[in-house]
């Protein structure tokens, strides 16, 4: 089996890194990008096969589209003459549903995914939905491949915009939060690299507690806040600065943009 990635930007190259790391020989992955230096650099790093034309990438059994939603029209025009019925095309584009993709590419067998860049280290949580024309074997192949990048969740398409906000986009919020914590430590006199390491470790541990302790997050907050202690001062300050409201508004803004992508 051969798979290809058309467009090797931030998201597609993160998936390539995740899949390549799980295979001794990554040459079954064909990478194609408009800027060839990007393809060559990723091929040198991961061992994938570098393609110089879209026709080469179009030969694969599973084609992943890694371009931006606005660039799909251009790619569709280039790919249409080469697509065969038995090929599976996988789109990671925000805001583009299966019907729109099928119409754009004149192709029936489509999988839609919403990954995140933590795929590069095997920790994406990725949703997927398939069109009726996708066979059980094709779905299994694609899901198995992508499991190298993290966990896979079958999701009804109408939930994709919400998922896109809390899983596809939210890593950016989490990175921002860790940087903000570390920067606050810098202001108090700690060096940034060690502060960032500490902040990231605390976030990782907190995520494990939420996932594994069977305890509601608010109860965990209460466990950290000793009566009359230090943490409650910080929690009250976050609330006074509308922390939760800012998070809710941010998630809503992502969903609105996803639902109105042209
Ligand atoms: N960045 C992220 O965290 C996530 C992105 N996505 C989706 O992934 C897709 C890509 O997004 P990013 O990686 O952020 O964008 P990006 O701009 O980093 O990557 C796009 C890549 O496509 C290449 N490209 C553009 N036109 C091309 C063409 N005609 N032929 C070949 N290559 C071409 C560009 O050179 C670039 O390397 C989007 O559809 C986005 O919605 C989904 C989930 C998360
Ligand atoms: O910002 C974007 O449009 C993409 C989709 C989800 C995360 N990044």
pLDDT exceeds 90 at position 262: no
Pocket test for ligand 2, best of 126, 164, 174 (most atoms within 8 A of CB): 164
Give me the mean pLDDT over the 31-52 stretch: 97
- Laid out side by side, the sheet with 124-130 consists of 49-50, 29-32, 3-6, 62-65, 88-91, 110-114, 124-130, 150-154
Fold held by 163-259? ProC C-terminal domain-like fold (1.10.3730)
Give me the mean pLDDT over the 186-197 stretch: 98
| Strand ranges, E, within 45-196 | 49-50, 62-65, 88-91, 110-114, 124-130, 150-154
Pocket test for ligand 2, best of 94, 120, 163, 258 (most atoms within 8 A of CB): 94
Domain boundaries 3-155, CATH class: alpha beta
Give me the mean pLDDT over the 239-250 stretch: 98
pLDDT exceeds 80 at position 169: yes
Ligand 1 midpoint to CA 13 (Å): 9
On average, the pLDDT of the chain sits at 97
Q: How far apart are the C-alpha atoms of 9 and 195, rounded to whole Å?
A: 29
pLDDT exceeds 90 at position 98: yes
Beta bridge partners of 6: 32, 65
Ligand 1 midpoint to CA 189 (Å): 39
- CA-nearest residue for atom 19, ligand 1, is 9
pLDDT exceeds 90 at position 251: yes
Write out the residue limits of the CATH 3.40.50.720 domain(s) in the chain: 3-155
- CA-nearest residue for atom 27, ligand 1, is 34
Looking at residue 197, what is its pLDDT? 98
pLDDT exceeds 90 at position 260: no
H/E segment holding residue 31: strand 29-32
3-state class (DSSP) for residue 61: coil
The number of beta carbons lying within 10 Å of the beta carbon of residue 205 is 10
Ligand 1 midpoint to CA 6 (Å): 9
Looking at residue 261, what is its pLDDT? 78
- CA-nearest residue for atom 38, ligand 1, is 68
Instruction: Quote the ipTM score.
Output: 0.99
Write out the residue limits of the CATH 1.10.3730.10 domain(s) in the chain: 163-259
Q: Which ligand is nearest to the CA of 33?
A: 1
Q: How far apart are the C-alpha atoms of 50 and 29, rounded to whole Å?
A: 9
Ligand 1 midpoint to CA 12 (Å): 7
């Amino acid at each position: 089996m051969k798979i290809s990635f058309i467009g090797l930007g931030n998201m597609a190259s993160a998936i390539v890194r995740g899949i390549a790391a799980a295979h001794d020989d990554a040459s079954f992955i064909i990478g194609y990008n408009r800027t060839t230096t990007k393809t060559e650099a990723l091929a040198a790093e991961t061992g994938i096969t570098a393609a110089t034309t879209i026709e080469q990438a179009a030969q694969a059994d599973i084609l992943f589209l890694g371009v931006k939603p606005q660039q799909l029209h251009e790619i569709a025009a280039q790919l249409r003459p080469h697509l065969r019925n038995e090929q599976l095309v996988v789109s990671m584009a925000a805001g583009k549903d299966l019907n729109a993709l099928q119409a754009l590419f004149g192709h029936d067998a489509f999988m839609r995914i919403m990954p995140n860049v933590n795929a590069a280290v095997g920790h994406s949580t990725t949703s997927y939905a398939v069109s009726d024309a996708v066979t059980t074997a094709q779905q299994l192949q694609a899901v198995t491949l992508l499991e190298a990048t993290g966990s896979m969740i079958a999701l009804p398409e109408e939930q994709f915009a919400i998922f896109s906000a809390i899983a596809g986009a939210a890593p950016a919020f989490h990175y921002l939060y860790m940087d903000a914590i570390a920067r606050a430590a810098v202001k108090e006199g700690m060096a940034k690299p060690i502060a960032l390491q500490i902040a990231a470790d605390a976030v990782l541990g907190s995520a494990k507690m939420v996932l594994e302790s069977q305890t509601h997050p608010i109860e965990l907050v209460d466990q950290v806040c000793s009566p009359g202690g230090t943490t409650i001062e910080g929690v009250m300050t976050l609330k006074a600065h509308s922390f939760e409201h800012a998070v809710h508004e941010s998630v809503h803004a992502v969903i609105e943009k996803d639902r109105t992508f042209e």
